[in-house]
Amino acid sequence: MDNKLLISAVVPVYNTKTEYLEECVNSILNQTYTNFELILVDDGSDSSCAKICDDYANRDSRIITLHQKNAGVSVARNNGIKVATGDILTFVDSDDSLKPEAWSLAIDALIKYNADCAVFGWTDYCELDTYIQQITDKVRVVDANTFQIEVGSDNYKCGGGYPWNKLWRVSSLTANDNSIPSFNPALNMYEDKLWVLEAASSINNVVLLPELLYNYRFVSSSITQTEEQRIPRLLVAYDAYKVILDYLQKVNDKAYIMAYNFCFEFTNNDIRFLSENKARHKDQIKKSKQALKRLCKRIRPRTLYVPIWSKDFFVWFFYHYF
């Protein structure tokens, strides 16, 4: 194991439960790879949460705590990036944790395969069950183009559009314009996916690891969303995916096609979900249909290179929506 590369780990913190935050930080302090700086960005948390961050910083010189007014996870991550001094950049969510060997295995793979990014699998921890998300059954190296396509497709073959299961070489991220990409604070959904896609434009290759090295915690609110909570998120998702599609359309044609197909599918599924109670969701259905029509205006012959629906689906779709 090469311990020369300094890892900068950015952890945005906002009113995280004490037990979760402590488990997160302790899992980082217990890494077998010890050459790191941990940047805790307190995003306007209550006093107890902010104090926990300060206490850790006072006990370990590798920990830096930043305090900011509540501005959201994107601004918190961006501020963490600004003070990062490492050779490697990664992110951790404050209610999640890492396996002790996570960074050691990732660094070893980066060096061995001369890769720009290392990605590993994870385990989803829900209240009643756990789900394994293994991204490969053996070590694989893929080019950045393939990586962007898979992330755009919204599948887990290359680790998904998440920042927390990836380690990036800073020298590669800054190769294009001497700066690390920023998270878009205007997005309230999919901001992490957009960042991963943008970061991928600066690199050459990615090494995929079979190990499950990250523990992702589903909090209750994310599992048991009510209709009232879900519907506003649907509308926000449309705006976010417009930004993603606009970006991919400029940089990766096939990734754009795959992302377009995914967006078309989930928008149509949203309409089906809302149509189960048409009277109650009349306004939302109208907005979803408008989003779908905007997607249809993007249709060009090349967007149909990778068809995922049958001809019968399109007949059904245009009959119901146009």
DSSP secondary structure of 140-164: EEEEHHHHHHHHHTT-STT-TT-ST
Does one domain contain both 53 and 93? yes
Residue 2 counted as domain residue: no
Query: Of 205, 222, 239, which residue constitutes the final position of a domain?
Result: 222
What DSSP designation does 262 have? H
Looking at 202, 222, 242, which one is the last position of a domain?
222
Check residue 218 and give its pLDDT.
Answer: 82
CA–CA dist 130, 109 (Å, integer): 27
Classify residue 182 by its DSSP letter. P
| Domain end point (choices 222, 240, 264) | 222
Quick check: is 134 in a domain? Answer: yes
- Report yes or no on 273 lying in a domain: yes
- Residue 1 resides in a domain: no
pLDDT, one tens digit for every residue, the chain (322 residues): 667 999 999 999 999 999 999 999 999 999 999 999 999 999 999 889 999 999 999 999 999 999 999 999 999 999 999 999 999 999 999 999 999 999 999 999 999 999 999 999 999 998 788 999 999 999 999 999 999 999 988 888 999 999 999 999 999 999 988 899 999 999 988 999 999 999 999 999 999 999 999 999 987 554 344 555 566 677 788 888 889 999 999 999 889 888 888 877 777 777 777 777 776 777 776 777 776 667 666 665 555 544 444 444 454 455 455 5
Do 153 and 51 sit in the same domain of this protein? yes
Quote the strand ranges of the chain, DSSP E. 7-13, 36-43, 63-68, 88-91, 97-98, 117-125, 130-133, 140-143, 166-169, 205-217
Do 127 and 53 reside in the same domain of the chain? yes
Backbone angles phi and psi of 273, in degrees to 5: -60, -45
Angle at 188 between CA 229 and CA 19, to 5 degrees: 75
Range of the domain at 256: 225-321
- What's the rounded Cα separation, in Å, for the pair 183 and 100? 28
Task: Look up the pTM and report it.
Answer: 0.87
Any idea what the CATH number is for the domain that residue 117 is in? 3.90.550.10
User: Is residue 292 located within the same domain as residue 147?
Assistant: no
Residues 101 and 173 reside in one and the same domain: yes
| 132 assigned to some structural domain | yes
Residues 27 and 125 in one domain: yes
Please tell me the number of Cα atoms within 13 Å of 63 on its side-chain side.
Answer: 18
Residue 184 sits in the same domain as residue 216: yes
Is 282 found in the same domain as 190?
A: no
Q: Return the percent helix, strand and coil in the chain, to nearest 5.
A: 50, 20, 35
Instruction: Indicate whether 34 and 83 sit together in one domain.
Output: yes
For residue 30, the model assigns a pLDDT of 99
Burial 141-168 (b: 16+ CB within 10 A, else e): ebebbbbbbbbbbbebbbbbbbbbbbbb
115 shares a domain with 246: no
Q: Is residue 147 part of a domain?
A: yes
Q: Do 79 and 179 reside in the same domain of the chain? A: yes
CA–CA–CA angle 11, 90, 124 (5° rounding): 75
- The count of other CB atoms within 10 Å of the CB of residue 218 is 16
Specify the pLDDT at position 91: 99
Number of domains in the chain: 2
Please compute, for residue 90, the number of CA atoms within 13 A of its CA located in the half-sphere on the CB side.
26
Do 161 and 192 reside in the same domain of the chain?
A: yes
